Structure formats: structure tokens, C-alpha cells
Amino acid sequence: MTELADRRAAQTTAPATPAADATGQPGVDVAALGELLLGKWADTRRQARALAGRPELYKTEGLPHAEHRKRAFGQLKVLVENGAVHRAFPRSVGGMDEHGANVAGFQELVIADPSLQIKAGVQWGLFGSAVNHLGTEEHHKKWLPGIMSMDIPGCFAMTETGHGSDVASIATTATYDSATEEFVVHTPFRAAWKDYIGNAAIDGLGAVVFAQLITQGVNHGVHAFYMDLRDPETQEFLPGVGGEDDGVKGGLNGIDNGRLHFTNVRIPRTHLLNRYGNVAADGTYSSPIASPGRRFFTMLGTLVQGRVSLDGAAVTASKLALKTAVQYAAERRQFNASSPTDEEVLLDYQRHQRRLFTRLATTYAASFASEQLLQKFDDVFSGRHDTDEDRQDLETLAAALKPLSTWHALDTLQECREACGGAGFLIENRFASLRADLDVYATFEGDNTVLLQLVAKRLLADYAKEFRNVNFGVLARYVVGQATDVAIHRTGLRGVAQFVADSGSVQKAAIAIKDEASQRTLLTERVQAMVAEVGAALKGANKLPQQQGAALFNKHQNELIEAAQAHAELLQWEAFTDALAQVADPGTKTVLTWLRDLFGLSLIEKNLAWYLMHGRLSMQRGRTVGEYINRLLVKIRPHALDLVDAFGYGPEHLRAEIATGAEKTRQDEAREYFRRQRASGQAPLDEKILLARQAREAKAPRG
């Protein structure tokens, strides 16, 4: 029997829908679906997966952190030897100028070891990328070849102990001395130390240091500077540079995170990465971007690839977890619910389906949204679509999706761990290890909550812009429309209208909410209503004294962040819906539509209180949401293994004992043992059967 047939045999006990060619029921074209999931850079992803599946790149579980660091550092050289790090760099220094392909390959490295992925991200995605995007050709020629080859292991020294997400307020200074044509880099107090910096504790020879640029008595804001940290021969810090080890962390212990501080360290004027801001020999500052605020966000925007990378890596981790958990649940048996002899397969239990299938649906949505984000990233950085508006859209999209995918990965890993019971807690099955390593994904490259606040501000800005220049008649009609809308929702008239339309029929109510257009309307209306409500509450806040304006904003901060999250969820739903249009096979399209509906209705169910309180759903329709979700679970169940097989991960990627078929072997052995025992007539009599027999005999009339 082939490996695929072995996997299929695991679900033969389920009330599975036969394949399309047997009964006319839909089936899934696993190979075609797998290609759709691989996306635009399918070949690059396959190459990266092949590399990540090599034993020399695996994480060795239980390795002491000092040894794990040495292993991860050595693995970076394996990536160099296999040409896995050069894609995004300029052709002038041996790169390929392929930005989307580079990130696509990077996202797959989480399969091997998240520490390797993030350490590679520090070296080439942050340190190297900063030199590439913030520096000029002179800087590229001087430093990029060494960065690409690992001759210059380096750090990305932005975050400070006192300021993480608020980069504009970092306290490290770089003050220009025109007499020597040098910048003097200094950390004036302890909170200004650079902290949590990858490669800082041991390996980093160089760094891109972010500091406040001061020249001729004027602070021009945060800029990036190249600095040598250590003597390459002795590995000792250079004069004026100091630091310490962050020590053991909650995960990612293959990375030598550390702290750095600088005491009047002098660096040449030419070490300023001056693409967006330059200082002449006499100290005169110039920039192609006049606005300090816009300049700051432009510089940070060039580094958006970190968020794009983490978004896709988190989706990859969710796929790994679900493939293992669904495989195990299709084999593991517990409790004799419907048979006196055979125990139930876990995946046949409704609650187990709820736990795994809803997260499977979200993972598909996140995967399709991640692909759209990556294509947007490639369009901007390739120069095909690189306007200010394009960059703002990219930054907002990355800030919206990265929080959802990283939180989802943590939630999925935990739920899959629990769904696999004690076996899920064993390190050999990777759930606990992956969750520990991915925990910080919710924090770095932008704290998730802060990123969603950034998205909310963009939504508010767009909302305000829509009405900034409208004439009185247009505004009056909008206000009247809003008043009517509010009156209908708040008095419950819309709910009554829905109930009348449904005529009390659960079936009609279910049809109304499962329709694609209805889902889109419900999800879109929620975002629009939330933004409009907060926008109205904050109207005029910019004209208030600073303290009062801040207090008003803070009063509505939670609503803002919830609106941003609703917006991001809508983006995922739209991405899933867009992907459906690319599916040619009718059976695959049907099954994916069920999965998309499960995602959409799960979002509505999660926020059902909002829809009911705001009159967007009647009680009748609200009650049908959960019922229809349960019907979708039954429809999806026969296709569960196909849907996770389409992720395309083999044993060398999963590396989980419970995903090898070992559980099926154990279950088959147990079932065969009891079958033979029953057939031989030697099986001991169950006490409950004996008691029941005795009770019947006691009641029987005696002749």
C-alpha cells in the first residue's frame, strides 16, 4: 500500500463522503490546491522546504542554549553555501533583486528551526536590509558582500530598554563633530541601551545603530549608522562599545540576544546610511524629504519586510501544527460512543472538529492574505508600483495581517497541543517547542496591539479624508442617512424585518447568512460602523489642547483597536474569496467554499453580541449561525486530510512522531487483538453484562 493510501485508510471509519467519481459528491484535487497555496513563488518555496528538511538544519530539542547558539550560527553558513540568502540584494554585489522570492523562501525556514529563521532574519532581513535600503551604492559595495557571505555577522540595533515600539523617542544620540568629520554615538543613560538585539551577545561584528542625528545644534530625528562592534580577531568589544548577554529566554534560544551601549564612540561621517538624510563635511543637513515626520516613516517603511516575513512564517507554523493534529485525530480512538466494539475516531467528535476545522479555515484565510501581502511587498520593492500611496498601503496591510497571523499561530499551536492530549505535550511532537519559539512573534517587528492602533489611525484618516471637502448637500444627505440607519438598528426594526422575511424558518435564516454577499455585507458593515462611530466620537480632537485630545483618544482606544482587527479579518475573508475565483476544479471549489463559509461564519459567531446589539442580525438569524457552522463541520470532515495534505509537508518537515502513522498501527493492533479474543470465545465476560444477565434471570418467571 502506498503512503497516500495508508493515510487515507486512517479515515475509513468516518462517515466520509465518497469521492466525486463514485457518488457525485465533491472531492479535492490535492495537487492543484497545493499549487494554489504555494502561490507566485512556488519554486522558491519548494527549494526552501527541501533545504529546511535537511537534518543539519533541524532544531536539536533539549540542547543547552550555549550549544544551540553555536549550532544556529553554523547553520547560517549552510544557508550561504546553498545560495539561500542572496535573492533580495542588488545584482551589483551578487544578489538577484528578487524581493518577493526572498521573503517566500525565508518564511519556510521556520520548518527547520525558528531560531535559525530569526537569526537569518537578523543577519540578512534586518542588518543587511538596512544597509541595502537605507544606504547608497558606496555602502553596498563596502559592506554587503561581507554581510551576504557571513564575513560580517551583524546586529540591527534599534530597540532600547526604554523604548520599543516608540522608535521616534529612542534616546541614543549621534552628534556630528565637523572638526573631525565624525559622529559621536552615545547612550546617555541606562534606559537608552540597545536591548533584545540578535547577534549582540556573541556573534555580531558590526551593527546598524539607530540614533537621534544631531548636527549644528539641531536634532533631525532618528537615522541609521553603520558601526563596527568587535575586533574580528579577538571578538572583544571595540573601545567605547559595551554590552551584556540577555541570557536564556522563553524561546528562540539559538539566538544570542544581548544589550549594547556606547560611550562617545566615534565613527566616520560616511558611516551614516544617507539615502534619506545626509550631513555634509561642514555639518549641513539635507534630505530629499522635507517633512521630518514623513522622512521618519519612509525610513522605517523600507524595513517592512520583517513584518511581511513574520506574517508568512506564522502561517507556516499553523499549517505544520494542523497537519500533525488532524493526522493524529484521524487515527486516535477514544470511547465506545456508537459501537459496542470499536472506539470513536477523535476527528468524528463535533467538538474536536470545532477545535481544528475552524482554525484550519482561518489558516487558509491567513495563507491567502499572506500571499497578497507578499505580492504587494514585491510590487513596491521591485519598483513596479512604488508610489507614496503604495508604500502606505503596504505598511498598513502588513500592520493589519502580522498581528492576526501571529496570534492565530499561538492559538493554533496551543489548541492542537491540547487536542493531541499528553502526546501533544511531548517535545518530540513539536507543539510545545514551536509555541515557545513563536511566542515573541507577537511582540517583535512591532507589538501586535501597537500595529493595530497604527491600522486604526489609517482607517480614521481615510474616513476623515472622505468627508473633508464634500459640500453641504452631500454631507447633509449622509447625516440623514446615518440617522435613519441608526434609528432602524437601535429600535430593532431591521431585526424585525429579517424575522418577517425569514417567516420564522430556520432554513431560510441559514440560507441568508451563508450566502457570500451576506457574509461580505455583515463583515464590511461592522468595520464601517465601528470606524464611523469612533470617528464621530473623536471629531475635533486635533483642535483640543494636547492633554485633552490625548485623553479623548485614550477613552476610545479599545474601540479603535477592535475596529482595526475587524478590518484585518475582513481582509483575510476577502483574500480567501479572491482565491476561490482561481480554483478550476469544481469539487475543490465546493469544499473550499465550505471552508471559507466556516471562516466567515466563525467571525460572525465570535462577534454575535455586536451584531445583535447593533441590530445587524435578528435573534432568529443569530441562532442559526452556530447551527450552520455545525453542518459545515460535517461536510468538511471527509476532506480534512486532503486539506492538510495540500500544505505539502512531508515527514522531514513535520518531524512529529504522532504524524507518522504510528498511532494507526497501535490502534489497528489493539482492535485486531480484541477481535481475535472475541472470535476465540476466550474473552473474559464483562461484569456489567454478567450483572444484566443475572438481573434478567431474577425477573424471569419460574415454572
Which residues lie closer than 8 Å to 469 by C-beta, 6 or more apart?
A: none
Q: Which residue has the higher pLDDT, 593 or 1?
A: 593
Distance CA 193, CA 158 (A): 10
Which residues lie closer than 8 Å to 578 by C-beta, 6 or more apart?
A: 368, 372
Distance CA 178, CA 280 (A): 9
**Grid cell locating 565:** 482587527
pLDDT in tens, 317-328: 999 999 999 999
Q: Report the Cα 31 to chain-centroid distance in Å.
A: 24
Which of the 8 DSSP states describes residue 282? T
Q: Which of 120, 52, 61 is nearest to 432 (CA)?
A: 61
Which residues make up the CATH 1.20.140.10 domain(s) of the chain? Answer: 36-121+304-442
Q: Which residue has the higher pLDDT, 60 or 470?
A: 60
- Judge contact between 565 and 452, C-beta under 8 A: yes
Per DSSP, the three-state class of 129 is helix
As a whole number, mean pLDDT of residues 77-86 equals 95
Split at pLDDT 50, 70, 90, the class of 88 is very high
Angle at 187 between CA 186 and CA 192, to 5 degrees: 150
Alpha-carbon separation of residue 396 from 39, 391, 400 (angstroms): 22, 9, 6
Q: Which of 14-28, 109-123, 332-346, 664-678 has the highest mean pLDDT?
A: 109-123
Alpha-carbon separation of residue 241 from 126, 144, 582 (angstroms): 21, 23, 55
pLDDT in tens, 153-193: 999 999 999 998 899 999 999 999 999 999 999 999 999 99
Q: Which residue has the cell 504524524?
A: 659
- In this structure, of 88-92, 193-197, 361-365, 611-615, the range with the lowest mean pLDDT score is 611-615
Split at pLDDT 50, 70, 90, the class of 621 is confident
Distance CA 539, CA 553 (A): 10
Residue 352: which H helix or E strand, with range?
helix 350-382
DSSP letters of 672-703?
Answer: HHHHHHHHHT-SPPPHHHHHHHHHHHHHSPP-
Question: Number of H helices and number of E strands within the chain?
Answer: 29, 13
Q: Residue-wise over 140-153: b if at least 16 C-beta within 10 A, else e?
A: beebbebbbebebb
pLDDT value at residue 325: 97
Distance CA 381, CA 362 (A): 28
pLDDT value at residue 3: 38
pLDDT value at residue 485: 54
Q: Which of 72-76, 621-625, 657-661 has the highest mean pLDDT?
A: 72-76
pLDDT in tens, 372-388: 999 999 999 998 998 88
Q: Residue-wise over 600-624: b if at least 16 C-beta within 10 A, else e?
A: bbbbbeebbebbbebbbbbebbbeb
Which of the 8 DSSP states describes residue 109? G
Split at pLDDT 50, 70, 90, the class of 498 is low
- In this structure, of 41-45, 465-469, 625-629, the range with the lowest mean pLDDT score is 465-469
- In this structure, of 4-13, 196-205, 586-595, 671-680, the range with the lowest mean pLDDT score is 4-13
Evaluated on CA atoms 457, 463, 466, 470, the torsion sign reads negative
Strand order in the sheet with 194-197: 194-197, 258-262, 241-245
Q: Answer yes or no: is pLDDT of 633 > 50.
A: yes
Which residues lie closer than 8 Å to 530 by C-beta, 6 or more apart?
A: 559, 562, 563, 566
Find the largest Cα–Cα distance for the chain. Answer: 123
pLDDT value at residue 425: 97
pLDDT value at residue 14: 38
pLDDT in tens, 112-148: 999 999 999 999 999 999 999 999 999 999 999 999 9
pLDDT in tens, 19-56: 454 456 789 999 999 999 999 999 999 999 999 999 99
Split at pLDDT 50, 70, 90, the class of 667 is confident
pLDDT value at residue 468: 56
Distance CA 249, CA 245 (A): 11
The CATH number of domain 154-292, selected from 3.30.830.10, 2.40.110.10, 3.90.228.20, 1.10.3720.10: 2.40.110.10
Q: Report the Cα 4 to chain-centroid distance in Å.
A: 29
Residue 344: which H helix or E strand, with range?
strand 344-345
Q: How many residues does the chain have?
A: 703
Q: Which residue has the higher pLDDT, 336 or 589?
A: 589
Which residues make up the CATH 2.40.110.10 domain(s) of the chain? Answer: 154-292
- Judge contact between 693 and 465, C-beta under 8 A: no
pLDDT value at residue 19: 42
Q: Which residue has the cell 544631531?
A: 214
As a whole number, mean pLDDT of residues 672-699 equals 85
Q: Residue-wise over 313-333: b if at least 16 C-beta within 10 A, else e?
A: bbbbbbbbbbbbbbbbbbbbb
Neighbours of 272 (CB within 10 A): 24
Mean pLDDT of the chain: 89
Question: Distance between the two ends of the chain, CA-based, in angstroms?
Answer: 60
Evaluated on CA atoms 235, 240, 241, 242, the torsion sign reads positive
Give the per-residue SS3 of 440-485.
HHHCCCCCHHHHHHHHHHHHHHHHHHHHHCCCHHHHHHHHHHHHHH
What are the two backbone dihedrals, phi and then psi, of residue 420, each rounded to the nearest 5 degrees?
A: -100, 10
As a whole number, mean pLDDT of residues 84-110 equals 95
Using CB atoms within 10 Å of the CB of residue 411, give its burial: 0 to 12 exposed, 13 to 18 middle, 19+ buried: middle
pLDDT in tens, 517-568: 999 999 999 998 999 899 888 888 888 898 998 899 899 999 999 999 999 9
Query: Identity (one letter) of the amino acid at 543?
Result: K
Q: Residue-wise over 111-129: b if at least 16 C-beta within 10 A, else e?
A: bbbbbbbbbbbbbbbbbbb
Which residues lie closer than 8 Å to 439 by C-beta, 6 or more apart?
A: 250, 251, 410
pLDDT value at residue 510: 56
User: 262 pairs with which residues across the strands?
Assistant: 241
Neighbours of 270 (CB within 10 A): 16
Which residues lie closer than 8 Å to 429 by C-beta, 6 or more apart?
A: 324, 420, 423, 656, 657, 658, 659
For 36-121+304-442, CATH gives 1.20.140.10
pLDDT value at residue 499: 47
Counting residues of the chain whose pLDDT is more than 70, the rounded percentage is 90
Distance CA 555, CA 68 (A): 46
Q: Which residue has the cell 471552508?
A: 595
